[in-house]
Amino acid sequence: MYPRITHVCLSVANLEDCVRFYQRYCQMEVAEDRSVSGQGSMYLSESGKKADLILQIKSGGDLQTLADNDETHIGFSVESREVVDVLASMARAEGIMLYEPDEYLPDAYFFAIKDPNGNCVEFGFGQHAPPVT
């Protein structure tokens, strides 16, 4: 027997705003809706990947204020530098940019924004989390 990660849960102040954010920016789909009138939980997954890691968005949380040195974030990989730039342009227009796109690591082009609850969400091209196959 071994533990297998099934989901990560974010407790948020506004369930519906956060779900819309992850649908828009991350192209996530509602895998299961356990909410009633904006209260409860919604489980989001990548398209067609309900059996993989799920992001649970749960009502009842507080807005997050991360310290300047807090690098807590959720990371998403995108298919090209151009997609990074498109998402960054959207975020810039909405005033949610945390840091601009750049090559912060060799061959890794990424940036970060705030979700409606104040969580840091990073989008990048070329940055791979281990293990790389």
Residue where one domain finishes, among candidates 62, 82, 98: 62
Alpha carbons within 13 angstroms on the beta-carbon side of residue 88 total: 20
Rounded distance, CA 97 to CA 11, Å? 21
Q: What is the pLDDT of residues 63-91, one digit of tens each?
A: 999 998 899 999 999 999 999 999 999 99
Is 44 found in the same domain as 69? no
Residue range(s) defining the domain that contains residue 79: 63-133
Q: Report the CATH number at residue 49.
A: 3.10.180.10
Q: What is the pLDDT of residue 130?
A: 67
* Cβ atoms of 78 and 16 closer than 8 Å: no
**Burial class, 39, CB count within 10 angstroms (exposed 0-12 / middle 13-18 / buried 19+):** exposed
* pLDDT tens for each residue of 29-75: 999 999 999 999 999 999 888 878 799 999 999 999 999 889 999 99
SS3 26: helix
pTM for the whole structure: 0.90
> Measured between alpha carbons, how far is 81 from 21 in angstroms, rounded to an integer?
21
